A and B are shown apart, each in its own frame.
Chain A
Amino acid sequence: MTLQTSSIGTPTLPRLLLGTVVDNALVLALVTVFAAFSIATPTFPTLANLQSILVNNFTLLAIVAIAMTFAVSVGGIDLSVGTAVDFASFAFVSLVLAGQPVAIAALAGLGAGAAVGAFNAVLISGIGISPFLATLGTLFIGRSIQQLLTNGGNPVYLPPSGAPEAFRFLGRGAIAGIPVPLVIAAVIVAGATLILTRARFGRVALAIGIQPSVARYSGITARAHVAVAFILVGLIAAVAGLILSATVTVYIPSSGNAFLLNAIGATFIGTTLSRLGRPNIPGTILGVLLLGIVANGLLLTGLNFYWQQVGTGLLIFAVLALSFINRRKATA
């Protein structure tokens, strides 16, 4: 019998990123894909392109996927992340349009996202509905509410003249040359990592997600923590909603759902490919990067646009299959 040495080091950020928590397989997959594209297309590894990956293929999905990671960390899933994105976006754009200060509108947006989360929390922790079904219901109700609010799904445009400076700054501004959305995403990554690895809440959430019965037998009230986790999901997704609407200066009903499946994909890639099989922020981020790099790289290879989705799907499929087969071998 081989000696198993699975262990967790003290989670410092560099070690996290260098693969103490994140499986080397994920880093390896990322490096391989990166190298392959660099060879295939000379424009891929340029600074300009890498920046475009971060801005176009990374920021918003990263934030939504981090939100999803909190749902997964307590052993759940949130199909209504997109709804929180949309509600936040709607509240934000509508209030700005109505002449409210950007800060107030942004707060209202965050509140709207958190409200979606709180609704889920009541369903899941209060009534005891499984997260999948509860958030599926929320998704559907949210869709109707948005249509009602917009006369059957009309976008809410913010005329360029009507967009205050602060609003535009949020979407298109830069701090020290770094786009504001990216800065916000970085802050959220750092904050979420801190919460999940260093805060008591994160530890308890993981324990609930990993073995709920042990958490219960240890005197932990899972319901409260699960509720907080789902409210957090709504709140974080709301940030993506604010950035989204500030970038495109429009709110389009139910547009947030576009993130749903990729967010689930990134989170589960990060979780299943991490060595300990735990939901973790670095893993999620690498999952998002993997999706983003593949999308961007396939674009640059000049491959037919439509083949790109096939390529992305195949790649994710391959990664999942390999990891599950590997794991089965390991446990057999």
Chain B
Amino acid sequence: MSAASPAADRSGDAIHLENIVKRFDGALALSGASLRVRRGTVHGLVGQNGAGKSTLIKLLAGLHQPDEGRIEIDGQVYEKLTPHRVEELGIHFIHQDRLLVPTFTVGEALFLGREPRIAGTPFLDRRLMQRRAGEILNDYFGVRLPNSALISELSTAEKQIVQITRALLDQPKILVFDEPTAALVRREADILFRLIRRLRDEGVTIIYISHYLNEIEELCDHVTVLRNGEDVATLPLGETSAAAIARLMVARDIAEMFPKRSVTPGKDILTIDQLSSRGKYHDISLTLRRGEVLGLTGLLGSGAKDLIRTLFGLETATSGQIEIDGKPVRSVNPAQAVDQHLALVPEDRRGNGVALDLSVTENITLSSLKRFTRLGFLDFKSERQEADDLIRRLEVKTSGRNALVRTLSGGNQQKVAIAKWLSRHSEVYLLDEPTVGVDIGSKVEIYNLIGDLAARGAGIIVLSSDLAELIGITDRILVLFRGNIVHEFVSSQTSPDEVLAASTGSSETLRHVG
């Protein structure tokens, strides 16, 4: 089937997902989301982290099955999608994580699964693969890669191109791009945009997911905004703007969730001076005071996450200085950072934050075991007491202190991850997306906890892409864009759209910094 044929017929819907509900371990990821994409258009999909974008896309890819709702592709209703069926339907995904085998050549990676053979033999036609790969890359993108180049030797942009080319070989009917430009410089992004428009003109339907709202504005015909697992609006781009989309993305009705705090910040506890890490962030200087909650935000690749990781000793800076309580520190590993009373609550809670197969108690005391050790042996009684105290204080909902953390809800797992540092008596808390995948009730409790910690004199840095949350719980917000602090907001005097505009670069001319 030729990919150009559906171009004529733009009347129908390529995709119609209706009232999709999806739960994970009881937590609602999608609560009745709909997505309707017209054939042969570029359709933007936006929403903050946790709004349900990735869940929706995984449903479309057949990786998850919806609990409720209706799936219609090209006018045909499907009970369930499987990855195989999705492929038959001509739906292809350009993933954020590039699924290419690192030790393959470009030709091998492109043709994996549909390898050409030397005519009349069962053998791979490596030469044809190489030649076709060269031709295709040159034709589509004007890229020349050495024949022998391995995937592991390519740049991120080049890998991205190989991935897209792979999809094009299948003559897709529907192409889904998931944050395709996060790792690209502007010039590379422009080439991608031209390709996308070209594909659309030839009748391919495109779903485009991005945090960069100006890209959505520039590229898309329609946009659907997701918020809290629902679609809040689907608009033609002619009738809306990046700023309007930003307003839709940010929920306004939860403002009252945020506890009112009145803490007078005390002495400086953390000072960062001219900290740089090559290719990640440059000349970052900031000061955090006791009792202060400092917000940090930025898109993927802005350097905000790298900064947090550096503070905790997971990465090293190339230059600059970090001081805690006036003393210069240089953490080369997390153990040293922890000894400096730093605490990190990582974004990947289930991977790095809590050990799922350890109990609540074992998790809570993991960093502070020394305190419960007498002559090398654990003092179970005081350990239990500590766990019970913290479970009570943080209102961790669990069947008991001996329950495996795996059995807890996301919010309660997060409380355990924080409790670990309370037990360690940490003083500088680095909270990386602390409420991702956390239900509303627990969110409020975590906000209260953050306020409580600040009131006790801790210094807190919150990295979050939930801007309403950031404004609600912080005193100040620093916005990073492409490795620089581009804006500082006083939380009480700004709005989510303002911060969003700064972090997407659309309020500045910084988009072209590249």
In the complex, are there CB atoms of A and B closer than 8 Å? yes
On whether A218 and B376 interact (CB within 8 A), knowing A8-B359, A8-B402, A210-B355, the answer reads no
Q: Mark A193-224, 1 if CB is under 8 A from B, else 0.
A: 01000111101101100110111111111000
CB of A5, distance to nearest CB on chain B (Å): 6
User: 1/0 per residue B354-368: CB within 8 Å of A?
Assistant: 111111001000110
User: Is B334 part of the binding interface, using a Cβ–Cβ cutoff of 8 Å?
Assistant: yes
Bound CA span A215–B372, Å? 17
Instruction: Confirm or deny: A46 has a beta carbon within 8 angstroms of a beta carbon on chain B.
Output: no
Which residue from chain B places its CB closest to the CB of A9 in the assembled complex?
A: B402
Q: Mark B329-363, 1 if CB is under 8 A from A, else 0.
A: 00001110111000010100001111111110010
Known A-B contacts A199-B376, A200-B378, A220-B366; A207 and B355 likewise in contact (beta carbons under 8 Å): yes
CA of A327 to CA of B39, assembled, Å: 44
Residues of chain A from 259 to 316 with CB closer than 8 A to chain B in the complex: 276-278
A214 contacts which chain B residues (CB < 8 A)?
351-355, 358, 366
**Do the beta carbons of B400 and A213 come within 8 Å of each other?**
no
Tell whether, in the assembled complex, residue A219 and residue B367 are in contact, meaning their CB atoms are under 8 Å apart.
yes
Residue of B nearest to A212 (CB): B355
Q: Are B358 and A211 in contact (CB under 8 A)?
A: yes
Selected interface stretch from B90-98, B189-197, B403-411: B403-411
Contacts of B355 in A (CB 8 A): 207, 210-211, 214-215
Q: For B404, what are the chain A residues with a Cβ–Cβ distance below 8 Å?
A: 4, 6-8, 276
CA distance A10 to B424 in the complex (A): 22
Q: Is B103 an interface residue (CB 8 A)?
A: no
A1 interface residue per 8 A CB criterion: yes
Whether the Cβ atoms of A7 and B333 lie closer than 8 Å is no
Q: How far is the CA of A214 from the CA of B417 in the complex (A)?
A: 10
Q: How far is the CB of A86 from chain B (nearest CB, A)?
A: 30
Chain B residues lying within 8 Å of A194, measured Cβ to Cβ, are 377
Collect the chain A residues with CB atoms within 8 Å of residue B367's CB.
Answer: 218-220
Distance between A202 CB and nearest chain B CB, rounded to angstroms: 9
CA of A218 to CA of B346, assembled, Å: 10
B493 at the interface (CB under 8 A from A): no
Q: Which residues of B contact A201 (CB under 8 A)?
A: 376
Which residues of chain A come closer than 8 Å to B366, judged between CB atoms?
Answer: 204, 207, 214-215, 218, 220
Q: In the complex the two chains form, is A213's CB within 8 Å of B402's CB?
A: no
List residues of B (225-265) whose CB comes within 8 Å of A's CBs.
none
- The answer for the CA separation of A53 and B351 in the assembled complex, in Å, is 44
Cross-interface CB contact of B400 among A1, A7, A220, A277, cutoff 8 Å: A7
Interface string of A173-205 (1 = CB under 8 A from B): 000000000000000000000100011110110
B455 within 8 A of A: no
Q: How far is the CA of A211 from the CA of B366 in the complex (A)?
A: 12
Report A316 CB to chain B, min CB distance, Å.
24
Question: How distant is the Cα of A6 from the Cα of B370 in the complex, in angstroms?
Answer: 26
Q: How many whole Å from A234's CB to the nearest CB in chain B?
A: 20
Q: Does B146 contact A (CB under 8 A)?
A: no
Contact, CB under 8 Å: B378 / A276:
no
Query: Could you say which residues of chain A place their CB within 8 Å of the CB of B333?
Result: 221
Q: Does B373 contact A (CB under 8 A)?
A: yes
Q: Is the CB of A210 within 8 A of B358?
A: yes
State in angstroms the CA–CA spacing of A212 and B286 once bound together.
Answer: 32
* CA gap between A201 and B366 in the complex, in Å: 11
A217 lies within 8 A of B400 (CB): no
Distance (whole angstroms) from the CB of A232 to the closest CB of chain B: 13
Given A9-B402, A199-B378, A276-B404, A207–B362 Cβ distance below 8 Å?
yes
B26, CB-defined interface residue at 8 Å? yes
Residues of B within 8 A of A199 (CB): 376-378
Q: Tell me whether B420 is interfacial, beta carbon within 8 Å.
A: yes
In the complex, chain A residues whose CB is within 8 Å of the CB of B403:
5-7
Task: Kindly identify which residue among A1, A215, A217 contacts B346, using a CB–CB cutoff of 8 Å.
Answer: A217
B400 close to A6 (CB less than 8 A): no
Q: Is B150 interfacial (CB-CB < 8 Å)? A: no
Q: Is there an interface contact between A211 and B357, defined as CB atoms closer than 8 Å?
A: yes
A207–B367 CA distance with the chains assembled, in angstroms: 11
Within 8 A of B (CB), among A205-254: 206-207, 210-211, 213-221
Q: Is the CB of B335 within 8 A of A220?
A: yes
Are the C-beta atoms of A216 and B334 separated by less than 8 Å? yes
CA distance A5 to B359 in the complex (A): 11
Q: How far is the CB of A172 from chain B (nearest CB, A)?
A: 35
Complex contact B407–A217 (CB within 8 A): no
- Is the beta-carbon distance between B357 and A278 smaller than 8 angstroms? yes
A204 with B357, Cβ < 8 A, contacts A198-B377, A217-B344 known: no
Chain B residue at minimal CB-CB distance from A206: B358
Closest to B348 in A: A213
Within the complex, the shortest CB–CB distance from B376 to chain A, in Å, comes to 5
B380 part of interface (Cβ distance < 8 Å): yes
Residues from chain A with a CB closer than 8 A to the CB of B344 are 217
**Does B501 belong to the interface (CB within 8 Å)?**
no
Tell which of B337, B356, B378 has the most Cβ of chain A within 10 Å. Answer: B378
Chain B 403-445 interface mask (CB, 8 Å, partner A; 1/0): 1101100000000000010001000000000000000000000
Would A200 and B373 be within 8 Å (CB), given that A214-B353, A219-B338 are in contact?
yes
Chain A residue, CB-CB nearest to B351: A213
| 8 A Cβ contacts from A1-52 to B | 1, 3-10
A1 — which chain B residues lie within 8 A by C-beta?
A: 26
B369 within 8 A of A: yes
Nearest to B360 among chain A residues (CB) is A7
Counting CB contacts under 8 A, is B399 at the interface?
A: yes
Chain A residues in 8 Å Cβ range of B359: 7-8
Instruction: Give Cα distance in the complex from A206 to B334, angstroms.
Output: 19
A198-B380, A200-B370, A218-B366 given; 12 more Cβ-contact pairs under 8 Å: A4-B406, A7-B403, A10-B384, A200-B372, A200-B376, A206-B358, A211-B356, A211-B357, A215-B366, A217-B353, A218-B367, A278-B357
Interface CB pairs A-B, < 8 A, 27: A7-B359, A7-B399, A7-B402, A8-B362, A10-B380, A198-B377, A199-B376, A200-B370, A200-B376, A203-B362, A207-B362, A211-B356, A211-B357, A211-B358, A213-B351, A214-B366, A215-B355, A215-B366, A216-B352, A218-B334, A218-B366, A218-B367, A219-B337, A219-B339, A219-B367, A220-B366, A276-B357
Enumerate the 6 nearest inter-chain pairs by beta-carbon distance, A residue then B residue, closest first: A219-B338, A7-B402, A211-B355, A214-B355, A218-B367, A4-B407
